[in-house]
Amino acid sequence: MFTGIVSALGDVRAAERRQGLLRLTIGAPYAAEGIDIGASIAHDGCCLTVVEKSAEAGGSAYVVEVAPESLALTTLGSLNVGDKVNLERSLRVGDELGGHMVQGHVDGLGEVLSVRQDGEGWRIRVKPPESITHLIAPKGSIAIAGVSLTVNEVDDEGFGVLIIPHTWSVTTLSKLKAGDKVNLEADMMARYAARLIEARR
């Protein structure tokens, strides 16, 4: 379980295909002794399991494996060496819940429609996959590339979010441009409410 509050930017050190899996080596500022083998870390909003690790000056390098289903539903398969990824360690009991409850289970890919500066912030508009449009509502929450954001507006074309300067500076959202694909996870409460309504029909 996560909160959508990015704790660090990682960099892709290696990307290797093995028997249908994608093995990613990620450099991160996390201390190696604080990362357990089997730990869950969200990468651009996708929960992945640490299978190897090593210490290095100023942080660590670790390996995660991406299964075929995750490759089909997320942007992880398009990562290249040198790319940055939003990282978040899994939530621990007692941690501050600063964003919203995020599972790290990407619902699908959205397409960035536009990115423009709006005052001191930036406004991003996204076209979501049709399968989750009914789960997105004004003032509701959504995770874009693992970042917890509030939906500002919704229309037939898509939805918009406003990014504050801090979030812009510490995540990969500042690299987005029109036409890019982004991992989307709809709000968990909206998902279960929709499922309950369907079950009662």
Distance CA 25, CA 3 (A): 24
Q: Which of 14, 31, 67, 178 is catalytic?
A: 67
> One of 2, 74, 148, 186 is an active-site residue; which one?
2
- Cα separation, 201 vs 184, whole angstroms: 27
Angle made by CA atoms 184, 169, 33, in degrees to the nearest 5:
80
Neighbours of 109 (CB within 10 A): 18
Q: Among 54, 78, 131, 150, which one carries the catalytic annotation?
A: 150
Residue 67 a catalytic site member: yes
Catalytic annotation, pick one of 8, 32, 39, 40? 40
Catalytic residue check, 49: yes
Active-site pick, 105, 133, 190, 194: 105
Quick check: is 46 catalytic?
no
131 is catalytic: no
| Active-site residue, selected from the candidate residues 42, 46, 47, 61 | 47
72 is catalytic: no
In the chain, where do the E strands start and end?
8-18, 21-28, 40-43, 46-56, 59-66, 84-89, 108-118, 121-127, 141-144, 147-154, 159-163, 181-186
**Distance from C-alpha of 51 to C-alpha of 174, rounded to nearest angstrom:** 30
Q: Which entry of 14, 31, 49, 78 is annotated as an active-site residue?
A: 49
Q: Which residues are catalytic, by number?
A: 2, 40, 47, 49, 67, 105, 150
